[in-house]
Chains A and B, each alone.
Chain A
Amino acid sequence: MAPPMPPAVRLVNLSRRFGSIRAVDDVTLDVAEGEFFAMLGPSGSGKTTCLRLIAGFEQPSKGHIEIFGETAEGVPPYKRNVNTVFQDYALFPHMTVGENVAYGLKIKGIARAEREAKARDALAMVKLAGYEDRRPAQLSGGQRQRVALSRALVNGPKVLLLDEPLGALDLKLREQMQEELRALQKELGITFVLVTHDQGEALSMANRVAIFKDGRIVQVGSPEDVYERPQSRFVADFVGSSNVLSPAFASSHGGAAKWTSLRPEKIGVFPAGALAPAENAHADGDIKMINYQGSVTRFSVEAEDMRITAELRGDAERFNEGDSVRLIWPLSAMVTMEDDA
C-alpha cells in the first residue's frame, strides 16, 4: 500500500504572539490536497496571521508548519512552494502587466520567450489576453485582481493563498469572481486557502471552512456543517447571524435546556392565534422592526423576552411594525450547541 499522502498544509499547535497579543493561539489544522479551504472570522481573529505564517511572511512563536510534508518554519517565503494573492493585489507599479505576471518565472531564470508565452497563457486563463503591455495603474480593480491571480498561478504553486482577494470589489464583480475562482480551482486542482471575513463568500466557495475567533479555531467543517450545525453561539451568530436561544427559552419550546441556534429562514411569521402543526414550536410576540431587503424581508420580533429574527421570502407586505404575530418553526430547526461561548 502506498503511504498516505501528506496534507497540503499541516499546522500543529501553531502560535504567533505580537508582544502580549496572541494573534494565533494554538491552532492545529490539516488542509488536504486539492481542497478549497476557507478561514473565516471577524477582523483580528488571527486568520490573516495564520495565512501569513503559511506564506512565510511571519514566523511562528511556537508550533509547527508543514507544506506537503516538508517543515516550513524557518524557511523564507522565497523558498516555499506557495503563492499568495494579496488583499490589495501588490502589483508592481513600475512593471507592465506582462512583466508582473512573468516576474516569478524571471526570478527562476526561465528564458524570456518561454516566460512571456507562459505569462500570456496565464493572463488568457483569467480572461485578460492582450493586456500584457498595460500598466497596473491603467486597470480596474477587478482586472488587477485577475492579474494578481495569474501572477501567482503562473508559478504553478502547490498551494495558493488568497488574502481577502475580493474585499475591494463591488458586489456584482465579487459574485462573478467567486464563481470564476471556484471554477479555476476545480480546473487546476490546486489547494486553495482563502481568508475572508465574508461568511457568504466562505460558504459559497469552500469545501471546508474553519471559523476563527481570538486566534483560535472554534469550528471546522463543511459549509453545511458550520451553517446548519453550529457548535457554539459565536459560530451560530457569525455564520448567517442565527437566533441564539437561551437554555430556558429552548426548553420551554420543545428543545433541550442548552444554548440553541435557530436560523431566521426556518421561522414562519403568522397572524396571532394561528395554529401550529405537529412537530412545530411557536412563540407569540410583537413586530418591532421590519427590514425589507428585496429578495427577503427580515422581521425583528420581541417574543417572551427574546428578540427573534425571522426571514420571509416574498409576500411579507401583510404585516406592519407593531403587529402581534405568532412565530412558528419546526422542532428540527432548533440546533443544540455544546459550547456556550
Chain B
Amino acid sequence: MSQVATAEAGDGVLDKISDVLIARPKLLTLLLLLPPLLWIGIVYVGSLFALLLQSFYSLDYFSGLIVREFTLSTYKQLLEEANFQIILRTVTMAALVTLACSVIAFPIAYYAARYARGWTKAFFYLAVMMPLWSSYLVKVYAWKLILAKEGIVTWFAESVHLAWLLNGILALPVIGGPSLSFSYIGTFLVFVYVWIPYMILPVQAALERVPTNYLEASADLGATPKQTFWTVVFPLALPGIVAGSIFTFSLTLGDYIIPQIVGNSRLFIGQAVYTLQGTAGNIPLAAAFTVVPMIIMGFYLWMAKRMGAFDVL
C-alpha cells in the first residue's frame, strides 16, 4: 500500500530523478556515456596526444636533456640507417607473420565454421582458446626450450635422420642462425604461434555468417567448388581476415618480448622503444618510433577499406 502511494505521489528524490531522465533520454545517454568518454578522452587519447607531442621534441645529446621545441629532427633520425633497419625488420616480420597466420588459420576456421558440430566444435574452441589462458611469458620461454640447440626439435630431427635438413635451414643467410631459438625463423615461429588465435576467431566468425545456401546457389549457377571459393566464400570471409590481420599485424609490430627471448638480438620496434625510453632516456625518439606502427596501421586500414574489405559489414 505504502509503495503504491509513493509511486503515485512521486515525491522521492529517486522518483524525481527517474522522471527527469525518462523525459530526457539524451541526458540519460550522456550520463551513461560520460565515464567511458572521460576515460577514452583524457586517459587514452590524452596520453596518445602527449606521446605524439613528445615525438616532435628532440634530445640534446650533450646535456641529455629534452629540448621542448617543435622540430622534425627526431623523425629524421628514424630514417638513419640503423633505425630504418629496425622499422623495416619489424614491418617485414609483421607482414610475414600475418600472412602465415591467415594461411594456417583459414582451413582451421573453415572446418570449425562449416563442419564442426557438437563436441568437435567444443574441442575447437578449447584448442584455440586454451593457449590464451596460460601466461604469455611461459609460452615464449617454453618455445625457447623447444627451439634450443639441445631442444626437442633438434632431437627429433636427429632421431629421424633429418639433422642435415635442420642444419641446412639454419645455414640459410639472414633467417638462419646458430640454432632456431637464435634466428629470425624462431622469432617468426613463436610470433605465429602466439598470435594465431587472434586470426582464427574472427575468420571463423566471418565464415559462420556464410550460409550453406550461398554455396549451393553458387554451384547451382554453374560454379565449381574452386570458383565458389574465390567468388563467394573468400570475399565474404575477407572482413574476418582483415580483422584478424589487424590483430596479428599490430601485435607483432608492438611486441618487444618475443624477439628479446627468441631471436638473434637484432632490435624490433618494441625493443627499440623499450631501450630508448629506459636506459637511453631518449623519449622523443622512443615516441617517434611508437608513431610508426600507428601510421602503418592507419595506412593498412585505409587500403583495406579502399579494396572493399568492409563492404559486407
Binding site for B on A (CB under 8 A): 55-57, 76-78, 82-84, 86, 88, 90-94, 103-104, 107-108, 151-152, 155
A86 & B227 in contact (Cβ 8 Å cutoff): no
| Given A152-B220, A155-B221, 4 more pairs with CB closer than 8 A | A90-B211, A90-B214, A92-B217, A92-B218
B238: nearest residue on chain A (CB-CB)?
Answer: A94
A98 to chain B, nearest CB (A): 14
Decide if B232 is an interface residue (CB 8 Å cutoff): yes
B214 & A107 in contact (Cβ 8 Å cutoff): no
CB neighbours (8 Å) of B236 from chain A are 93-94
A78 & B219 in contact (Cβ 8 Å cutoff): yes
Decide if B254 is an interface residue (CB 8 Å cutoff): no
B219 & A94 in contact (Cβ 8 Å cutoff): no
CB neighbours (8 Å) of A56 from chain B are 219-220
B209: nearest residue on chain A (CB-CB)?
Answer: A93
Decide if B279 is an interface residue (CB 8 Å cutoff): no
> B209-237 CB contact bits vs A (8 Å, 1 = yes)?
00101101111111110010001100110
A77 & B220 in contact (Cβ 8 Å cutoff): yes
Given contacts A88-B213, A107-B227, contact A94 B222 (CB under 8 A): no
CB neighbours (8 Å) of B224 from chain A are 78
* 19 A-B pairs with C-beta separation under 8 A: A56-B220, A57-B220, A77-B220, A78-B221, A83-B220, A90-B211, A90-B214, A90-B217, A91-B217, A92-B218, A92-B232, A93-B312, A94-B312, A104-B221, A107-B227, A107-B231, A108-B222, A151-B221, A152-B220
CB neighbours (8 Å) of B216 from chain A are 55, 57, 77, 84, 86, 90
B236: nearest residue on chain A (CB-CB)?
Answer: A94
B220 to chain A, nearest CB (A): 5
A78 & B223 in contact (Cβ 8 Å cutoff): yes
B311 interface neighbour in A91, A94, A108, A152, Cβ under 8 Å: A94
CB neighbours (8 Å) of A57 from chain B are 216, 219-220
A155 & B235 in contact (Cβ 8 Å cutoff): no
B217 & A107 in contact (Cβ 8 Å cutoff): no
**In the bound complex, CA of A82 to CA of B216 (Å):** 13
A86 & B213 in contact (Cβ 8 Å cutoff): yes
Sorting the interface of chain B by its residue count into under 10, 10 to 19, 20 to 34 or 35 or more gives: 10 to 19
B216: nearest residue on chain A (CB-CB)?
Answer: A57
**In the bound complex, CA of A77 to CA of B228 (Å):** 12
CB neighbours (8 Å) of A107 from chain B are 221-223, 227, 231
CB neighbours (8 Å) of B221 from chain A are 78, 83, 103-104, 107, 151-152, 155
Q: Which of B216, B221, B311 has the most CB of A within 10 A?
A: B221
B220 & A92 in contact (Cβ 8 Å cutoff): no
B232: nearest residue on chain A (CB-CB)?
Answer: A92
A66 to chain B, nearest CB (A): 19
CB neighbours (8 Å) of A88 from chain B are 213
A36 to chain B, nearest CB (A): 20
B311 & A155 in contact (Cβ 8 Å cutoff): no
A333 to chain B, nearest CB (A): 44
Closest 4 CB pairs of A and B: A104-B221, A90-B217, A77-B219, A90-B213
Q: Which of B213, B222, B223, B227 has the most CB of A within 10 A?
A: B222
A92 interface neighbour in B214, B219, B222, B227, Cβ under 8 Å: B214
A172 to chain B, nearest CB (A): 26
A149 to chain B, nearest CB (A): 13
B220 interface neighbour in A78, A91, A93, Cβ under 8 Å: A78
CB neighbours (8 Å) of B311 from chain A are 94
A55 & B220 in contact (Cβ 8 Å cutoff): yes
**In the bound complex, CA of A151 to CA of B235 (Å):** 20
CB neighbours (8 Å) of B232 from chain A are 92
A19 to chain B, nearest CB (A): 14
CB neighbours (8 Å) of B227 from chain A are 107
A49 to chain B, nearest CB (A): 13
A70 to chain B, nearest CB (A): 16
B291 to chain A, nearest CB (A): 34
Q: Which of A82, A107, A151 has the most CB of B within 10 A?
A: A107
CB neighbours (8 Å) of A103 from chain B are 218, 221, 223, 231
**In the bound complex, CA of A104 to CA of B220 (Å):** 9
B213: nearest residue on chain A (CB-CB)?
Answer: A90
B216 to chain A, nearest CB (A): 5
A84 & B217 in contact (Cβ 8 Å cutoff): yes
B211: nearest residue on chain A (CB-CB)?
Answer: A90
**In the bound complex, CA of A84 to CA of B217 (Å):** 7
A324 to chain B, nearest CB (A): 52
**In the bound complex, CA of A316 to CA of B12 (Å):** 60
**In the bound complex, CA of A82 to CA of B222 (Å):** 9
Q: Which of B211, B216, B311 has the most CB of A within 10 A?
A: B216
A155 interface neighbour in B214, B219, B222, B312, Cβ under 8 Å: B222
A146 to chain B, nearest CB (A): 15
Question: Which residues of B from 177 to 225 have beta carbons under 8 Å from A?
Answer: 211, 213-214, 216-224
B214 & A104 in contact (Cβ 8 Å cutoff): no
**In the bound complex, CA of A152 to CA of B220 (Å):** 9
CB neighbours (8 Å) of B213 from chain A are 86, 88, 90
**In the bound complex, CA of A78 to CA of B312 (Å):** 26
A99: nearest residue on chain B (CB-CB)?
Answer: B231
**In the bound complex, CA of A77 to CA of B215 (Å):** 11
A93: nearest residue on chain B (CB-CB)?
Answer: B312
B235 to chain A, nearest CB (A): 5
A123 to chain B, nearest CB (A): 16
CB neighbours (8 Å) of A77 from chain B are 216, 219-220
Q: Which of A55, A84, A91, A108 has the most CB of B within 10 A?
A: A84
**In the bound complex, CA of A82 to CA of B223 (Å):** 13
CB neighbours (8 Å) of A152 from chain B are 220-221
Given contacts A86-B213, A88-B213, A107-B227, contact A94 B220 (CB under 8 A): no
CB neighbours (8 Å) of A108 from chain B are 222
CB neighbours (8 Å) of A90 from chain B are 211, 213-214, 216-217
